[in-house]
Structure 1
Amino acid sequence: MEKLIELKDVKTSFFTHLGEVQAVRGVSYSLNKGEALGIVGESGSGKSITSMSVMGLLQYPGTVKSGEIVFKGEDLLKKNKKEMMSIRGNEIAMIFQDPMTSLNPVYTVGDQIMEAIRKHQNLSKAEALKKAIEMLELVGIPDPTKRINAYPHEFSGGMRQRVMIAIALSCEPDLLIADEPTTALDVTIQAQILDLMKELKDKLNTSIVLITHDLGVVADVCSRVLVMYGGLIMEEGKVEDIFYNPKHPYTVGLLKSIPKIEHKERLVPIDGTPPDLLHPPKGCPFAARCEHAMNICMEERPEFFNCGEGHKSMCWLLHPDSPKTELKGGVR
């Protein structure tokens, strides 16, 4: 398959008055054309910052310290502001986390969709209006000819999220980054948004990076998953590998915290707190919260161990000389 984007050892930090916060500490992954990739993990694990690094949207004091972000064969980190503005919103688009605050309340939704279209495509105002109406229709907003002149406050939360998707897709991007697109939406609207994203992926052959803390959302949309923690990728694999055969204790902990209707069991929380990225641990970032932690886990960061085709995990338990420990987890 054609590789669309590849991150190579990307490191992103925030230089604050307290010191350097190492938010992303060496993330590498690739995404093929037309593929949907899920990135999961707790708040503060580096999911959104990785994607903001891709978009070139980091603001002071944040900066990408090192690494490469290769999109269509070119390193985005070597692009200047003008070049990134022509790519952002056009070839790479992002659906932001909160539709309530992402839309400008003093402009109609039509104006906000047309702004992206006119900026990146050589269309007249009338042509841009026509396309904006088509985009509202595409994302399932009823009576788009009338609603194009409505303001954000006249839409429900789910409808506002659809408007955000319409803006992101208006220039038919090759890559769509969706940062928790179903947060704060009820389950019915959430299902509709996810169905819409799957339909658009198939129709437009758009690659999707879906950022979420909800593993159920990932199972519905994605074919491959990255599990992030402490600014690093802990485990990577196909959805089936992550859900049915997890190989990292953190992944197991995330799966155990999902409510299961068929099993009336207590939810098992992950004890402890995430690491302080002002002073990140030398070894595995999850070691302090891991029931299987060994001395080496505290002292040295593990390498990636292959667990099968396309499945790898950063855990010392997978080393040939480690004590044999069975990780009890996964979806049953």
Structure 2
Amino acid sequence: MKEILEVRNLKTSFYTKTGEVQAVRGVDFAVKRGEVLGIVGESGSGKSVTSMSIMGLIKKPGEIKDGKIIFNGENIIDYPKKKLRDIRGNKIAMIFQDPMTSLNPVYTIGEQMTDVLIKNKGLNKRKAREKAIEFLDIVGIPSPKTRIDNYPHEFSGGMRQRAMIAMALSCEPDLLIADEPTTALDVTIQAQILELMKELKDKTKTSIIIITHDLGVVAETCDRVLVMYGGLVMEEGSVRDIFYKPNHPYTKGLLGSIPKLGDEDRLMPIDGSPPNLLNAPKGCPFYSRCKYRREICKDKRPKGFLIDEKHKSMCWLNGKDGI
């Protein structure tokens, strides 16, 4: 499968009164056509900043300092605003974390969806409404011809999230980025949303990036996984690699902190706190919390070691004198 998106050496910082916060510090990955990529990690690991950088939504005091974002063979990082707007929503769409704050409360769902379609697809008002109804139906909104004229507050949390997915998919993007798509939803609605995303991927062949801290979501929906920490990718591999053959100590710590059905052993939290990216560590960002740390880890950032053909880990333990 050909790559639809390549991110190379992405570096994004935010400038504050106390100094530069290096939120993303050199991230590399690619997404193939029709693939679902999961990006996981604790809060502050750089997941959402990476997605906002891809969308061109980093605003002052933030700045993309370096790197390339190659979409459909073109580096879009230096595109002028108008050209980037033509891609955003049209070719790359995003589902934001909180649908209630992402939807405008003073406009109906239909008004917001048709506005997107008129701007991005050049449809007239009647055609745009027809297409909006069609996609509300696809995502499972009951009585879409009626509910299209409802306001966001008249939808439940799950239905608002479905409406956001419908809005994102109505322009038939090549890439969909979903930032915590199941946050604050009950488990039944979570399962429905995840199943819906899998069905849509199969129907439309849309590539999807799912950003989450929930490894259960990853296991349920993704083909491949990036594990981020301290603004860097710590480990990359297939879902099977990450869940059954984790290599990086941070990945192992994440998996060890997940409750397991029937397992009476005490959960094993990761001791310590994430690094302060205002004073980003020179070496491995997990150094202070890692029980396997060595002196080299403190001062020298690990390179990516290939565990097998498609499984990579940034850990010095994989060097010739590692364990």
Specify if TM > 0.5.
yes
Shift of 1:160: 0.4
* Residue-by-residue CA offset, 1:133-160 (whole Å, 9 max, x unaligned): 0010010000000000000000100000
Give the equivalent residue in structure 2 for 1:99: 99
3-state DSSP of counterpart to 2:259? coil
Residue 124 of structure 1 aligns with an amino acid whose one-letter code is: N
Give the equivalent residue in structure 2 for 1:258: 258
* Residue-by-residue CA offset, 1:94-119 (whole Å, 9 max, x unaligned): 00001121111000000111111111
CA RMSD, Structure 1 to Structure 2 (Å): 0.6
**Correspondences of 1:61-210 after superposition (within 5 Å):** 61-210=61-210
* Residue-by-residue CA offset, 1:210-230 (whole Å, 9 max, x unaligned): 000001100111110000000
Name stretches of at least 5 consecutive residues in structure 2 with no aligned partner.
none
* Residue-by-residue CA offset, 1:226-273 (whole Å, 9 max, x unaligned): 000000000000000000010000000000111101312211111100
C-alpha separation in 2, matches of 1:115 and 1:51? 24
Shift of 1:83: 0.2
Give the equivalent residue in structure 2 for 1:306: 306
Name stretches of at least 5 consecutive residues in structure 1 with no aligned partner.
325-332
Give the equivalent residue in structure 2 for 1:17: 17
Residue 39 of structure 1 aligns with an amino acid whose one-letter code is: I
* Residue-by-residue CA offset, 1:155-201 (whole Å, 9 max, x unaligned): 10000000110110010000000000000000000000000000000
**Correspondences of 1:222-233 after superposition (within 5 Å):** 222-233=222-233
Shift of 1:275: 0.3
* Residue-by-residue CA offset, 1:25-84 (whole Å, 9 max, x unaligned): 000001111000000000000000001000001111011000100001111112000000
C-alpha separation in 1, matches of 2:259 and 2:115? 42
Number of equivalent positions: 323
C-alpha separation in 1, matches of 2:318 and 2:76? 35
Shift of 1:122: 2.0
3-state DSSP of counterpart to 2:50? helix
Residue 172 of structure 2 aligns with an amino acid whose one-letter code is: E
Residue 40 of structure 1 aligns with an amino acid whose one-letter code is: V
**Correspondences of 1:221-300 after superposition (within 5 Å):** 221-300=221-300
TM-score w.r.t. structure 2 length?
0.99
C-alpha separation in 2, matches of 1:259 and 1:119? 46
C-alpha separation in 1, matches of 2:190 and 2:266? 25
C-alpha separation in 2, matches of 1:309 and 1:150? 50
C-alpha separation in 2, matches of 1:133 and 1:244? 42
C-alpha separation in 2, matches of 1:146 and 1:164? 17
TM-score w.r.t. structure 1 length?
0.96
Residue 95 of structure 1 aligns with an amino acid whose one-letter code is: I
User: Equivalent pairs: percent with the same residue?
Assistant: 65
Shift of 1:3: 1.1
Residue 30 of structure 2 aligns with an amino acid whose one-letter code is: S
3-state DSSP of counterpart to 1:258? coil
C-alpha separation in 1, matches of 2:199 and 2:262? 29
Residue 195 of structure 1 aligns with an amino acid whose one-letter code is: E
C-alpha separation in 1, matches of 2:123 and 2:167? 16
Give the equivalent residue in structure 1 for 2:53: 53
